[in-house]
């Protein structure tokens, strides 16, 4: 019987949205053989972003970005073909992910651990987190601060508008680990089939 093949290592990443206090973060584990595009998808789903905008990763001097003919910036590595392990060697412990170049949501990603894969775990998996992601298109960290001031103060002139815009279920302090992991099931690798 041929042994199941497992990736060389699992990365435990802390993903935190910069310039937000108290912090909004997620701690996830995924295989180093997965792509940067998958990491983008994990971030989108775990912070309840809508995936409306462009994004890029920066690892040292390397850029991982979908080519856009409308922007004259030099191209980088493609996120659908660049695996995490291709760039995240032993010397790198930090990655920057920027989503929505207008609102400029910068996420600081720290490699907390490098682990051997556990055959009993289906990756990716979220281990912990805090707070909801900001609503899409709220204007970046400064706009989010203004949004929260209006959202939380019933006497604010824009209170009703912000509550309606964000939706009745939005709560900036909400984090549901079970719900995030339900969403991440979409990205779990197929388990190896057992031979009979």
Beta carbons within 8 Å of 20's beta carbon, 6+ residues apart: 131, 134, 141, 144
pLDDT tens-digit series, residues 6-46 = 457 999 999 999 999 999 999 999 999 999 999 999 999 99
Most confident of 3-7, 136-140, 189-193: 136-140
pLDDT at 189: 66
Q: Over 50: is that where the pLDDT of 196 sits?
A: no
- Tell me which residue of 182, 162, 161 sits closest to 172, measured CA to CA: 162
pLDDT at 4: 42
Mean pLDDT of 117-130: 96
- b/e code 90-129 from CB counts within 10 Å (16+ = b): eeeeebebbbbeebebbbbbebeeeeebeeeeebbbbeeb
Domains, the chain, in order of start with CATH, read 10-132+174-187 (3.10.290.30), 134-171 (no CATH)
Q: Over 70: is that where the pLDDT of 5 sits?
A: no
pLDDT tens-digit series, residues 58-84 = 999 999 998 877 776 667 899 999 999
């Amino acid at each position: 019987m041929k042994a199941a093949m497992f990736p060389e290592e699992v990365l435990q990443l802390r993903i935190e949205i910069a310039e937000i206090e108290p912090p909004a973060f997620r701690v996830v584990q995924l295989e180093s053989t997965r792509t940067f595009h998958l990491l983008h998808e994990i971030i989108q789903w775990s912070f309840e972003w809508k995936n409306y905008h462009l994004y890029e990763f920066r690892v040292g001097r390397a850029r991982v970005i979908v080519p856009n003919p409308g922007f004259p910036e030099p191209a980088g590595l493609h996120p659908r073909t660049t695996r995490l392990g291709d760039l995240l060697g032993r010397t790198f412990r930090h990655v920057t992910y920027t989503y929505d170049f207008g609102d400029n949501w910068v996420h600081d990603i720290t490699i907390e651990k490098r682990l051997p894969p556990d055959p009993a775990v289906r990756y990716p998996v979220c281990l912990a987190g805090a707070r909801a992601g900001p609503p899409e298109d709220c204007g970046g960290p400064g706009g989010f601060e203004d949004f929260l001031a209006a959202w939380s103060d019933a006497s604010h002139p824009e209170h009703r508008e912000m509550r309606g815009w964000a939706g009745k279920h939005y709560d900036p302090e909400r984090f549901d680990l079970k719900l995030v992991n339900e969403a991440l099931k979409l990205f779990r690798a197929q388990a190896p089939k057992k031979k009979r």
